[in-house]
Amino acid sequence: MNKYIKLATLGIGISLMSSCSLLEVDKILEPNNPTVESIESNATANQISQLGIGLQSTARNGIAAFYETSGSIGREIIRSASTDNRYFSEILGTVDIDPAGIFYGWYGSYNATRRRAELFIRSADNTNSITAAQKAGVRGFAKTIQAYAMLNCLNMLQSSGIRTSFTDLSAPGDLLKPGKFSDYAGGLAYCKTLIDEGNTALGQAGASFAFPMTAGWAGFNTPANFARFNRAIAARIAMYQKDWAGMNTALNQSFLNLSGPLSTGPVFTFSTTAGDLTNPLFQNRNTDGAPWVVQVRVVPEAEAGDTRIAAKMSRRNNPRASGNIAASEFEVFMYPSNTSPISIIRNEELVLMYAEAQLQTNNLVNAENALNIIRTSAGLRAYAGAKTAAALTDELLKQRRYSLFFEGHRWFDMRRYNRLGDLPKDLANHRVFAEMPRPQSEVDWDVRNP
């Protein structure tokens, strides 16, 4: 063997031995974005902050689809889309709703919000960078958001229910085994559990949250006053559960103020900053693309002088027909600009809920007084109708119709009082659906994962 070979063999031998790692492959961390794993354990205080902001941001998702679909079936508005007549045929009952169709934008959004909130709680629980009280704050905030989102989701589906359990959310394989569906009562009980757990946690959360509360939560940005928002949602849940005593209790702990401004309450904020959302419910006046027009009976059935009409609706220059449906003279105009906030829940609704709880527990005077707060603020004279429970119920539903117009209530109110038959149908072949069918993809999933 000559010296070249010896040298070369020696050299290569040494280099191979000195680098056993030649056969190793590094674990390459995602170089472009932080991964979910980075917040699953040992998240920093800063990461917890960002997750809190993130949840506040994405909690906004789904609201436009939720209002639009419930508002269409509840005969508040019509989405008069030039290019797609399903918005004023299928959803108004000309055919059954396509469970794989276009009316489920809210479903994915609200379920994604629930998952994000759940992962936020996990992240907080698996770190030592924040205190036990701050962890309770995360849990309290996140569970409240979950309850808000899932109640909206559940009301759309009613007897179809919602999935009320998770498998392990962080293991993709387990995502293939989604939890089971609960019926409406079970779903409401699930929402109540969430909101009550949230409330308990907020009670243990100390003086402030571990994450910044954005401007929309002004007045609700500490655990103590956020708990009053929590109780407002708890009152909503109790209302759907017809638990009038529980509703009263929750209202008393909420930010209900019979003598305060009706507009008080947290809002979703929007901006034109890159990466932020603009108000998805904002529309320019008199557009011809796909405006939300006001269902033709809404304005005529309001009392003369009701200031809520002018505050929420605007007369179109050209009345807008939707297919064969008679032209609407009014369109929705609730938000002056694309950066106007959207109310999540406000004192006005709390007063109406208070009225309903009093009515249902036979305190008719209290109920009438509360309704008169609403009437007065809308520029109407005090209630002059019969002082019976039945008449006051009619009045309650009427005030809710105009106070909470196009905010995801009317359809459910009429359903709660078995009055879906009273909703106005624009055409003879229309029907009023009681609920949305379970999404096709979920039906398919349960077939595959019995």
Partner 1 sequence: MVLVILGLAGQLFAQDKLVTGKVTNSQDDSPLPGVTVSVKGSTQGTTTDSQGSFKISVPSGKSLIFSSVGFTQKTVQVGSQTTINVKLDENTSDLEEVVVTGLASSIKRSNAANAISVVKAEQLTGTTKPPYLDNAMQGKVVGANIVANSGAPGGGISVRLRGISSINLSTEPLYVIDGVIIDNSQFNTGAGSRAFSGATTTSNVSSQDQATNRVADINPADIESMEILKGPAAAAMYGTRANAGVIVITTKRGKAGETKINLSQDIGVAQAQRFLGSSNWNDKKIDTFFEGYGIGGYTAEDYKRLLKEANGRTWDYEKLFFGETPIITNTRLNISGGNDKTRFFISGGLNSEPGIMQRTGYGRRSIRLNLDQKFNDRISLGVSSNFINSNSSRSFTGNDNNGVAIGYNIAYIPNFIDLTQRPDGTYPVWGYTGQNPFEIRDKTDNLESTNRTLQSANLNIDIIRKENSLLKLNVVGGLDYFTNENEVYVPDYVAYQQQRANPGASRVSKSRALYSYLQSFLTYSWKVGKVDLQTQAGAVRNIRDFDLTWVQGEGLLPNQRNPLTGAVRVFDQFFQKTQEVAVDFNQEFNWNDKLIGRVGYRMDRSSLNGDNTKWYGFPRASLAINLTKFDFLNTDKINLLKPRFAFGQTGGVPAFGDIYSTLDATIIGGQLGSVTPTTVGNGGLAPERAQEIEAGVDVGLFGNRLNLELTFYNKTIFDFLNPYTLSPGSGVTSIKAFAVGDFENVGTEISLTGKVIEKKDLSLVTTLAFWNNKTTITRLTIPETFAGFGFGAFGRNRLRQGASPTAWYGTPNVNGQPTQYADAQPKYQMSLNTVLKWKNFDFSMLWHTSQGNHNSNLNQELRDEGGNTLDWMEDSDGDGIVNPLDGRLFGINASNNTSVFVQDASYIRLREIAVYYTVPKSFLQGAFGKVIKGAKLGISAQNPITITNYFGYDPESSNFGNRALGFGVDLTPYPSVKRTFFHLSLDF
Which two three-digit tokens encode residue 155?
């009301």
Locate all alpha helices (DSSP H) within 95-183, ordered by sequence: 105-125, 132-157
For partner 1, the closer of residues 189 and 391 by Cβ is 189
Q: Does 39 bind partner 1 (CB under 8 A)?
A: yes
Q: How far is the CB of 59 from partner 1 (least distance, A)?
A: 9
Which two three-digit tokens encode residue 249?
């209790």
For partner 1, the closer of residues 109 and 314 by Cβ is 109
Q: How far is the CB of 123 from partner 1 (least distance, A)?
A: 9
Strand, helix or coil for residue 438: coil
For partner 1, the closer of residues 23 and 428 by Cβ is 23
Spatial neighbors of 14 by CB under 8 A, at least 6 apart, are: none
Residue 361 φ then ψ, to 5°: -100, 20
Q: Does 176 bind partner 1 (CB under 8 A)?
A: yes
Q: Which stretch binds partner 1 (CB under 8 A): 178-186, 252-260, 285-293, 305-313?
A: 178-186
Q: Which stretch binds partner 1 (CB under 8 A): 27-35, 86-94, 224-232, 306-314?
A: 27-35
Q: How far is the CB of 60 from partner 1 (least distance, A)?
A: 8
Q: Considering only residues 83, 273, 318, 418, which one is a binding residue for partner 1 as defined by CB under 8 A?
A: 273
Which two three-digit tokens encode residue 135?
């962890």
Q: How far is the CB of 154 from partner 1 (least distance, A)?
A: 11
Q: Does 24 bind partner 1 (CB under 8 A)?
A: yes
For partner 1, the closer of residues 10 and 382 by Cβ is 10
Spatial neighbors of 103 by CB under 8 A, at least 6 apart, are: 65, 69, 90, 91, 97, 436
d(CA 357, CA 235): 10
Size of the site for partner 1 (CB under 8 A): 75
Q: Considering only residues 17, 275, 300, 317, which one is a binding residue for partner 1 as defined by CB under 8 A?
A: 275
Residue for token digits 């600009």? 337
Q: Considering only residues 111, 248, 322, 403, which one is a binding residue for partner 1 as defined by CB under 8 A?
A: 111
Q: Which stretch binds partner 1 (CB under 8 A): 36-44, 299-307, 318-326, 411-419?
A: 36-44
Q: How far is the CB of 12 from partner 1 (least distance, A)?
A: 7
Task: Calculate Rg over the CA atoms of the chain.
Answer: 27
C-alpha to C-alpha distances, 103 to 128, 235, 332, 393, nearest whole angstrom: 43, 28, 19, 31
Residue 440 φ then ψ, to 5°: -55, -40
d(CA 379, CA 277): 34
Q: How far is the CB of 273 from partner 1 (least distance, A)?
A: 6
